[in-house]
Amino acid sequence: MNRKALTRTESILAVLLVVAIIAGAVGWTQPGQRIVETVTSTVTVGGSAQTITTTRVVTSTVTVERPISPGAIKIAVVSDIGGRGDLSFNDMAFKGGDEAEKDLGVQMVELISKTEADYVPNLETAARDPDVKLIVGVGFLLSEALLEVAAKYPDKNFAGIDTFTQALAVQKTGKPLPNMLDIVYEEHKGSAMVGALGCLLAAHYNELGGNYPYIGGVFGIEIPVLWKFEIGYKWGCDWGLKWYEQRFGKRAPLIGEDGRYGSGPNWRDGLYCPQAGQCWYKGRVLWTYTGTFSDITKGYAAAKSMYEQQAIAVYNIAGPLGLGINQAVQEIATEKRLTSGPPYWIGVDANQDWINPGFVIASMMKRVDRGVYYAALLTVIGKFKEVVADTNGVLVLGIGTKVGNLAMEGISVSTLADLDEFIKMGVDAEKLTGKKVLPMSPEEIRQKVTEMRQNLPSWIWDALTELESKIRSGQAQVPMVLTKEEVDRWRELLG
Amino acid sequence: MLQQNLSRKIRKTLKKLAESMLAVAVGLVGGAALMAVYGYDFVKAYRALFLGAFGDFSGFLETLAFATPLIMTGLTFAIGMRSGLFNIGAEGQMYMGAIGAVFVGGMLNLPPIIHLIFATVFGMLAGAIWSLPAALLKISRGVHEVVSTIMLNWIAFWLVTYLITYHVADPARAERAVPAQETARYLVIGASLTTVFILVIAFSLIAYFLLWRTTLGYELRVVGHNQEAARYAGINISKTMMTSFFLGGLAAGLAGVSQVLGRPPHWTVFATMGNLINIGFEGIGVALVGRNHPIGIIFASIFYGGLLHGGRFMEFEAGVASEIVRAINGIIILALAIPAALDLVKKIFPRKNRGETG
């Protein structure tokens, strides 16, 4: 009897389990999504506010040349498995599509990829619609899928954000595809901007009696893509401290002068001078490759030790590990009852300033939305294939980048204006997922970030503006490091 | 006598078919209601769904590509059910099959056809071996397979994640394992469908033959019907359980293999395992819809694959939000699984009642 009763309970449980598992199977893809989202965000970064004026000019020219009836041209945006609500790549891409709808009179259709197996069928579904002229794949994970589908539909335009489809095409067939545009970003320039910001912050707080000899950088897996960020960031710090010297006629307190960074034959007053007349602020950046793009606790551990060594700000170059950095900052803030930094951290890819208002000094933004917008623009004015031919199919967006004589930029340091866009994105994501995304009300976020920025002296922002314009004019050349030899050389100079 | 038997069999099959049809109708109405609530045009959406999934050749091939692994994981569950086991370990066994295929297909250099065969067999065995701990625990200690297989699923998940991250990672592409070499890939038939589909169908037919035309299969099913009677009849229960787990593991392993060696354009596993996750669990639903019959499962998988592939057309053409598409698919599958689940309950309860009253 007993045994039977037990079997019965078991069986009921078993049946319930089946139902639960099926129900679960339909809804449970979260773990996968999370992590890949991560990878995508890591290997991407950038943006630009300066382009707006130029773009408007282009648009009006277009209207004169070729009147567009609204909805005539469709563009399709295919997400990676992060989907809508990722507050990063995919959300920004859809935002670019929205803007193209508004300005260019195109119609955007969306396709969300639930698994990696959806990339090809999603791209193909879009390509087969006769009204769709442009298909954009968001994120480098779609590189192979774009190669396959773009080759199959030569009449359609394809673009990929951060993809390397053309490199794959050259590998496979010896020549790039005529209808495919990889859109990539100058992350090294943006990293230089936030590197300068970090070291000037240290200088400022040291003037006020602080003790901040370092800035920090938490990186993901050491893949060549990240070297651009690393060296750019270190180079930016050096540029910032040199700028301070010129502007104020003295070394920046502590971070500019201290003897702790190294000693030996090539060292002179805290500077590393391998050749006469060429000195570098070496060793100011604490940096760690955590070997992961998903283990948030490693981001926390790396950042914690940096803050213990009095780093004033830590740059997140490992996607979701930023949440670990944030946790380390929050611990200090709670312990010391701070309402604003220092310590700070620096966001990447999207505007991450809202994640912990008052403690994220700025973000290095990669404007995925601009990428989508430009691809749509080129399609509408009928120059897409021309640009593909001129650029070998790789469109680089950064600071001061141009196509013909049109400025097309895609990298910037976050501003208060960007913040509003991202708060709106956060509000939308809350509506979509029903989960709380924003840490406080939009008004409070705006107020705290504004306060934080206004508490800094204007010369810090002057310095950034100057660096940006010098990068744009070519006076400042941020090293773009792609090989092991180069990265070793720069590490020798900058630490 | 024979004729009577035959007509009874036909009546039974017809009844089952009618039930399934009713379930489809209920599911579709449920999905339509959901779309109506959210203000979507459900006629347009369903039209897009079915035309997209079955309306043209290349769409249909894509549907088959999505169905391929489900046929195998569905079979894993069905073989278990037929022998009285609630084997929900297909998920983990499928992961092991995939990583096995990556090891041989991606890391080794072998001549063309041999490479493909070796990688396939190795992956299938990896899946089968992963099912053995659950079998041994069940036989030696009486550990319920639901508990052990669920735990083994998670162990497999993290083990494979670890292997992909640290041992078989693509050196140039941190986000995934090394892709299968050209020598270890199934030929592409069209869209994302490869010849692995043929192997999967063959495996299903062999499973059918094994279950209904051999002594081994007969013993398996007797154990599934009534373990005590089987024991009384002198059937070696431990042996049949091992066989059931092992066969199921081979099938699940092949599901994993099919996603690596038989699915363009990536031919590998992502570190997130996003291209594997849930294939094992979806197999349970597929098996219920297909009434735990190898042939039924093939059709159920194609139907399910159609929902997976056709769903994107609802999104693309009728603008239905992708989350709603998933919910609609869920409703349809739930409705379809209910008759089988009721069968399960019916099968269990009368016996219980008898046991308790008697």
Q: Are strands B188-190 and A406-407 parallel, antiparallel or unpaired?
A: unpaired
Mean pLDDT of the B313-331 span: 89
pLDDT computed for residue A51 by the predictor: 28
Under CATH, what is the fold of the domain B62-342?
A: ABC transporter involved in vitamin B12 uptake, BtuC (1.10.3470)
When the pLDDT of each residue in chain B is averaged and rounded to a whole number, the result is 91
Q: Do A36 and B277 touch (CB under 8 A)?
A: no
Answer for the pair A89, A83: CB distance below 8 angstroms, yes or no. Answer: no
| Predicted ipTM of the assembly | 0.87
pTM here is 0.82
Q: Do A27 and B330 touch (CB under 8 A)?
A: yes
Q: Do A23 and B315 touch (CB under 8 A)?
A: no
Q: Which of A76, A121, A292 sits opposite B192 (nearest CB)?
A: A121
pLDDT computed for residue A84 by the predictor: 80
Output B183-186 pairs: Cβ under 8 A, ≥24 positions apart: B183/B109, B183/B110, B183/B111, B183/B112, B183/B115, B183/B116, B184/B101, B184/B104, B184/B105, B184/B106, B184/B110, B184/B115, B184/B116, B184/B119, B184/B261, B185/B105, B185/B116, B185/B261, B185/B262, B185/B267, B186/B116, B186/B258, B186/B261, B186/B262
| Chain A residue at shortest CA distance from B304 | A26
A442/chain B closest Cα distance in angstroms: 26
pLDDT in tens, B83-138: 999 999 999 999 999 999 999 999 999 999 999 999 999 999 999 999 999 999 99
- How far is CA A402 from each of CA A104, A188, A279, A413, A472, rounded to the nearest angstrom? 20, 17, 33, 19, 10
Q: Do B330 and A33 touch (CB under 8 A)?
A: no
pLDDT computed for residue B168 by the predictor: 93
Decide if A51-187+368-407 and A188-365+415-494 have a common fold: yes
Sequence ranges of the domains in chain B: 62-342
Mean pLDDT of the A315-330 span: 91
| Architecture in CATH for domain A51-187+368-407 | 3-Layer(aba) Sandwich (3.40)
Amino acid present at B56: D
| Chain A residue at shortest CA distance from B350 | A8
Can you list the positions of beta strands (E) in A201-324?
Answer: 214-219, 267-268, 271-275, 278-280, 285-289, 311-317
| Chain B residue at shortest CA distance from A39 | B175
Cis status, amide bond into A121, omega within 30 of 0: no
Helix (H, G, I), strand (E, B) or coil at B172: coil
Q: Do B192 and A14 touch (CB under 8 A)?
A: no
Report for A432-436, B100-104, B169-173: range of highest mean pLDDT: B100-104
Q: Phi and psi of A159, rounded to 5°?
A: -135, 150
A130/chain B closest Cα distance in angstroms: 13
Sheet containing A278-280, strands listed edge to edge, beginning at the edge strand earlier in sequence: A267-268, A271-275, A278-280
Sequence ranges of the domains in chain A: 51-187+368-407, 188-365+415-494
- The per-residue b/e assignment along A307-320, b for 16 or more CB within 10 angstroms, e otherwise, is beebbbbbbbbbbb
| Architecture in CATH for domain A188-365+415-494 | 3-Layer(aba) Sandwich (3.40)
**Set of chain B residues whose Cβ sits within 8 Å of the Cβ of A112:** 315, 322
Answer for the pair A332, A338: CB distance below 8 angstroms, yes or no. Answer: yes
Size of interface A-B (CB pairs under 8 A): 154
Q: Do A31 and B272 touch (CB under 8 A)?
A: yes
- A82-96, A339-353, B75-89, range with the lowest pLDDT: A82-96
Conformational region of residue A254, where left means phi above 0, alpha means psi within -120 to 50, and beta covers everything else:
left
Answer for the pair A387, A374: CB distance below 8 angstroms, yes or no. Answer: no
| Chain B residue at shortest CA distance from A20 | B334
pLDDT computed for residue A361 by the predictor: 95
A108/chain B closest Cα distance in angstroms: 10
Q: Which of A109, A115, A144 sits opposite B316 (nearest CB)?
A: A109
**Set of chain B residues whose Cβ sits within 8 Å of the Cβ of A111:** 312, 315-316, 322
Query: Using 50, 70 and 90 to split pLDDT, how confident is the model at B62?
Result: very high
**Set of chain A residues whose Cβ sits within 8 Å of the Cβ of B309:** 121
Mean pLDDT of the A73-95 span: 88
pLDDT in tens, B203-245: 999 999 999 999 999 999 999 999 999 999 999 999 999 999 9
Q: Do B174 and A117 touch (CB under 8 A)?
A: no
Q: Do A125 and B281 touch (CB under 8 A)?
A: no
Q: Do A18 and B146 touch (CB under 8 A)?
A: no
